[in-house]
Structures are given as structure tokens and as C-alpha cells.
Amino acid sequence: MSTPRGQRAYPAAHSIKPGGGVADSGRKSDGSYEAALRELGEALVDLKRRRGAPSYDRIRARGEKHLGAHSAVSKASMSEIFTGRRGPASLDRLLWLVRTLLSYDDGEEVDPPERRDPRLQPWREHWNTLEALRAAARRRPALPPADTPEPQAPQPAGTGATADPIALYAAAEAPARGSIGNDHDDRVLPHVTGDFAEERDTGADPDDRKAAVHSLPDHSESIMAAADRGDHQKALELAAAAVEEATDHFGPEDPRALTEREYLAHTKRRIGDAVGAAAEMDELLAVRRRVLGPEHPDTLRTRYFIAVYRGEAGDATGAAAELAALLSVRREVLGPEHTDTLRTWEEIAAWRGKAGDFAGAAAALSELVHILERRMGPQADRTVKVRRELARCSKLAKRHAFVDRLLNKIT
């Protein structure tokens, strides 16, 4: 059944790969078009949260600014896509949405990926799957009228297959909508009347039904709104409630519960409590190291935020040192040109500069700019920005060195 409005969907048949791709998990999908829509919505929700949970307004404005309005997705459409009630109208619209989400890093704006970025390939594959399932759905035989005596369950494509009453109930529950601007027309499935609620639960083990639930109330928009209007206590209460709900439903070490704990840390930082955010991340790091391993991307991301938040709490030197240690691991695990590796490089330079180590900042930027020139080109916006920062840090490093020499002569 499609995820109700206002519910947070968690990755069920897939998860997100490092960098934003879609990855399969062990749970089997029923292979239906509706299941594929839900999986896409869940993947987008997870990506949105991993990127700092920007609001629909921010996604729309940023996407139009950097990627143009031609393939832009409206707020209403985003809501339906994220809850799995419909698909994007075209591949261009899906990639517009994913590229816009990938242009955030914990809510901070970064350059959107190019259209041929390898992180987009899994999303293209998911789109192809949707298209194939949509075409198959249109070829399904129509169901008999609701008032037909003792109707027989329709047989989907495939010898010996039986109809899925949950999918039928979902089709009956879906609101009727026109197909203007929506290639994924809800009317491709036959309209079904009647209540399948009892049939849906017949013979199902209660534990199995509980395990099949993969959505919880989504408080992210409310949390951000409360934090931004200064109601910090409300923001923390909502974030803590989300942690408790996910822990109760999935267990304290389930990735979905850990994601909520990470978001609680981000919420603390959003309201200005960098010390509390770093402490929350520290506790999360211990769990992720034990559950996922020391080199898992989620573990490395947690280390990244611990360093950044400690820097924001006033320890710029410590932040730079922790990020330098993280950089060596990310270079080996993810590669020197991975987005997260490049981001770490930039943060090292930033925190070294804030600590007054302009020579160290320039050294980091000098290595980074060579990679960006090769990867993005010498005139790319990000390359130009880093080159300018390199020039600034180099100038400050020379000035500080000159002052140090004068002071040495005086003393």
C-alpha cells in the first residue's frame, strides 16, 4: 500500500549507496509497478535526509537556479513522488530531482553533479525498471465489475501466478488523477471497488505484518521549521521522538534508527549546539563502528561530522587534524576523486585556515586544485573557487612567515 501523506518512508527493498545511488537489499519486491514506485520514493526520501533534509521550497529554488526550470518538479509532484504515489513524468525530471538533492551536503550547498556523473546511473536503471513495469501494467487484463457474483481473482502475467490482494487494495485506495504531465498514469491499473482490508490481513502472521511496515511519521519539515523560527525545544522534542519511534519499530542498531540519531545530531547543530551535536555523533560513531565496520561510508561520514562540529564548537586545530586522518581513509576506501574525499580536502583547508595555519591550508588546496582541474576542468566553478582560495591562503601564509621572521630578528 502506498505510503500515506506525512509518513516517512524508509528504504525497504533498497538502500542508498555512498554518493547517492540506489542499492538492492535482501528484501524481495513483489515485482509490481506499485512496488517500484514505493521503492523509488523510499530511495529519494533517504537521499533527501542524507543530504540534510532540504525543504521542497529549497529543492525547487535551487534546482531551477542551477539546472534550469525546463525539467523542474513542482512541490505537489515532489510530495507524491517521495511518498511513492506516482513517478516523475520523465527521466529528465527524475535526474533533475536527484542532481538537486546531491547538490546539498548536510543542508550546505555544493556543486550539483554533471549529468554523466556515475552516481546517477543507478537512478537511470530504476527509471528503466519503472518504464518496463508500467508498460506491463497496461497490458494486464481488466478486472470484472465489482458487482459480479463471486469474482475470481485476476491472473497477472506469468503461468501459475496469483493476484496480490495488497496491490489490489492499493489500487483501490489510490486517488483518481488525470495524466497531464504524468507519464505514470494511475489509471493504467484497473479501478477496483470494495474493501480488501480483511483479505489483506487474512492468514498473515502478526510479526510478519509488523516487519512489513516501513514507514513512520515524517517530522523533518516540522523539525526544520521549529528550529528556524527559534523554537529549539520543539525541534529537539520532534527529533528525539523520531529516534524513539524508529528504535521501537526497527531496533536500536537498525540503519533506520541510526539515521534518526544522526538527524538528531544535525538538529542540535542547526539550533546552535555544536558541542551537543559532536557528542551525539560521538555516541553514534561507536555504534556504527561496531555494526557497520570502521570503513563503512556511514561510519566515515559520522567521523566527518564529528570533526566539523568540533571545529564549530571552537577546536579548529582538532577539527583539521581529525579531518586529515579521515582523508587518508577516504582516499583509500572511496578513491581520491570521490565527492566525499574532495569535500574532506576542502574542510581540512578551511579549518587549518581558521586555526591560523595558512601554509597548511595552502598545501591542502594545492593538491586539491590539481585533482579538480583534471576531474572537472580548469574553468569549472568549483575549480576556480578553490584556486582563488589557494591564492588567498598562499598570500596570507607568506605574510605570516614575513611577520615571524621580523619577530625572530627583534627577539
Q: How far is CA 173 from CA 151, 182, 191, 194, 324, in A?
A: 19, 19, 9, 10, 53
Report how far residue 224's alpha carbon sits from residue 267's, in angstroms, rounded to the nearest whole number. Answer: 8
Contact 334, 18 (CB under 8 A): yes
Per-residue pLDDT tens, the chain, 411 aa: give them: 444 444 444 333 333 343 444 444 344 455 788 888 888 888 898 888 888 888 888 898 899 888 988 888 888 888 888 888 888 888 888 999 999 999 887 667 888 888 888 888 889 888 888 888 877 766 655 444 444 343 333 333 343 333 333 332 233 333 333 332 333 332 222 222 222 222 233 333 333 334 334 456 667 778 888 888 898 999 899 989 989 988 998 899 988 889 889 989 999 998 999 999 999 999 999 999 999 999 998 899 999 999 999 999 999 999 999 999 999 999 999 898 888 898 899 999 999 999 999 999 999 999 999 999 988 888 888 889 999 999 999 999 888 887 777 777 776
Cα dihedral angle (334, 328, 257, 252), rounded to 10 degrees? 130
Q: How many CB atoms lie within 10 A of CB 355?
A: 18
**For the chain, what percentages of helix, strand and coil (3-state, to nearest 5) are there?**
60, 5, 35
pLDDT tens digits, 48-76? 888 888 888 889 889 988 898 888 888 88
Residue 306: partners with Cβ closer than 8 Å, 6 or more residues away: 278, 281, 282, 285, 322
Contact 55, 224 (CB under 8 A): yes
Max Cα distance, the chain (Å):
104
The CATH fold of domain 232-410: 1.25.40
User: Cell 576531474 identifies what position?
Assistant: 375
What are the residue ranges spanned by the domains of the chain?
Answer: 7-142+176-188, 232-410
Report how far residue 225's alpha carbon sits from residue 26's, in angstroms, rounded to the nearest whole number. Answer: 36
What kind and span of H or E run contains 30? Answer: none
Give the residue from 201, 193, 188, 238 showing the smallest Cα distance to 217.
238
Report how far residue 78's alpha carbon sits from residue 76's, in angstroms, rounded to the nearest whole number. Answer: 5
Q: What is the pTM of this model?
A: 0.56
